Amino acid sequence: GEDVEQSLFLSVREGDSSVINCTYTDSSSTYLYWYKQEPGAGLQLLTYIFSNMDMKQDQRLTVLLNKKDKHLSLRIADTQTGDSAIYFCAEKVTGANNLFFGTGTRLTVIP
């Protein structure tokens, strides 16, 4: 089946940029998503990118997609303590309605 991988942990200092990486194996992806999950809560959609795009920017968030290498990243500029959470990348592939989730990256922002 589809395999979506992320590093488990990332720590950054407040004010620095965070880069969360994700790799996937299925080349028939149509959309790729980034979700944020705070403790005890559901998933909040942050942003998504269509698979024929290379980059998408939305305020402090920048998504980069390298389709050749099947690599997706989320950059958070000027990281704040409120950004501390688990970040999931997810892939939607052709022919499937559901999403395939990565393992999640726990971002810790150090004041």
Contact positions vs other proteins (CB under 8 A): 31, 33, 35, 40-45, 48, 50, 88, 92, 97-99, 101-104
Between 41 and 77, CB nearer to other proteins:
41
Query: What DSSP line would sit under 27-48, residue for residue?
Result: TTEEEEEEEEE-TT--EEEEEE
In DSSP terms, 65 is beta-bridged to 72
Shortest gap between Cβ of 68 and other proteins (angstroms)?
Answer: 22
How far apart, in whole angstroms, are the C-alpha atoms of residue 18 and residue 88? 14
For other proteins, the closer CB: 17 or 44: 44
- Residue 13 or 30: the one with the smaller Cβ distance to other proteins is 30
